[in-house]
Amino acid sequence: MNTRLIKTGLIVLMALTMSACSGSTKPTSAVKKEQIQTDAVALDIIKAKFDKVISLDIVSEPVQDLQCLVIANLTYDDGDALISGQIVINYAWANKAWKATNTQFSFTSVSVKEEAPQADLLASAVADNDLNAQFEVGDFAPNPTLVSKSLNLGIGEATYVVSSTVSALSWTATTTYTIKAKYYHQEGWKYTIDSWNYTETTKWAGTWTLQWATYDNETQYLPNEKMTITVNGEMTITKNSAGDQNEARSVNTTFKRSGNPYNIPAVISRDYEDEGRYSTRFIVFKYGNHDNDQFNLELRFDTSTSPTSASYVVKSFDGNLGILTKIK
C-alpha cells in the first residue's frame, strides 16, 4: 500500500473531523418557543402559583456567538387571575443545546377571575389606633357588614364600603370604611383603608338617681346624699379620617338640691382629654357659682371581662365616684 496515500487520507479525515467538531460548538438554531415557555414558567415567582400559559409572544431573540437574549410577552393563569408581563431570558450554548442562565419577569397587568374573598375583606375593616384611643371602640369585637362595592376585575382592583356597629347600654358607635382592594401577582388581594367615617351617640334621656357615699376629700356632696335627676336628649360626635370632628349636644337635666331647682344643659367632659379620650360617654353638668358645683355622668368600659362590660357611674368635682342608676 502506498504510504504517502495513507498519510494523505489520514490528514483529510482529521481535517473533516476537526471541521465537524468545530461546527458542533456553534448554535444550530434560535431557541425554540417551547423551550422558552418551559424556562419562563420555571421561574420561582411564577412557579409558586401557576396553572397554565395563556400566551407567549416572542418580541426578540437575537443570537450572538454562543449567547441568545430572549424577550417575550407572557400571560399565564395562576388559578385566580391572568397575569401579564415581560419575560427576559439569557441563554448560553453548551453541549449542543441552549441553557437558560438568567431569567427575569416584569409584571405589567392582571385580570382577576373573582373578587376578593368577603371574609378577608371584612377582616380588614379595623379601626385605627387614634380612633380606638379616643372612643375605645376597639374594646368591642367588630361586626362588619358589606354595604356596597365597585369592581374592576379586568385590572385587579375594587372598592368596597363596609360598616361596623358596636353598642353598650345606651351607647352606639358606627364606623363606615371605604376600602381599596388590589390584586398583586405574588401576594393576591391586598386591602387598604382609604377613608373612614365614625359616629357615636349616647342616649342619656331618662330619670336617674345619684347615690353618693362617704369620702375623705369631698367638698360638695354630703355623706350618703341622694339626688334624683331627669335628663332629656342625647350626645353625638362624628369624626372622619381627615380629622374633621363635630358634636351635636341636646342633653338637659332638671333636679332640685337643697330646695333650689335647676334646669341646665350638659357639655362633654374634658377630664380625659389629656389621655386622648373625648367621648359622648363622659358628660358634665355645672349648676352653681363654685367650681365644685358640678357632677359628671360617665359610661365606662371594663376590658377585664370577656366580652367587655359597661357600667354607669357619677363623679364629683373631687373625683369621687357614686352610684348612677337609671330608674326609667
Which residue shows C-alpha cell 347600654? 169
Q: What is the DSSP letter of 222?
A: P
Q: Cα(324)–Cα(227) distance, rounded to whole angstroms? A: 10
Contact 246, 264 (CB under 8 A): no
pLDDT in tens, 233-283: 999 999 999 999 999 999 999 999 989 999 999 999 999 999 999 999 999
User: Residue 219: is its pLDDT beyond 90?
Assistant: yes
pTM of the predicted model as reported, rounded to 2 decimal places = 0.81
**Residue from 199, 111, 117 nearest 160 by CA:** 117
- Angle made by CA atoms 239, 245, 247, in degrees to the nearest 5: 105
Contact 147, 179 (CB under 8 A): no
What is the reported pLDDT for 8?
41
Q: Cα(2)–Cα(260) distance, rounded to whole angstroms? A: 146
User: Which residues are within 8 A (CB) of 31 and not within 5 positions of it... i.e. 6 or more apart?
Assistant: 61, 68, 70, 89, 91, 98
Q: How far is CA 211 from the centre of its chain?
A: 45
Contact 85, 74 (CB under 8 A): yes
**Residue from 144, 127, 168 nearest 303 by CA:** 168
What is the reported pLDDT for 229?
98
Backbone φ and ψ of 215, nearest 5°? -130, 155
Backbone φ and ψ of 134, nearest 5°? -75, -45
Q: Cα(150)–Cα(144) distance, rounded to whole angstroms? A: 18
Collapse the DSSP code of 188 into the 3-class scheme (helix H, G, I; strand E, B; otherwise coil) and give the result. Answer: strand
What is the reported pLDDT for 17?
38
pLDDT in tens, 59-85: 999 999 999 999 999 999 999 999 999
pLDDT in tens, 91-115: 999 999 999 999 999 999 999 999 9
Range of lowest pLDDT (16-25, 137-146, 209-218, 220-229): 16-25
User: Residue 16: is its pLDDT beyond 80?
Assistant: no
pLDDT level of residue 25 (50, 70, 90 thresholds): confident
Half-sphere exposure of 8 (CA within 13 A, CB side): 5
pLDDT in tens, 126-159: 999 999 999 999 999 989 999 999 999 999 999 9
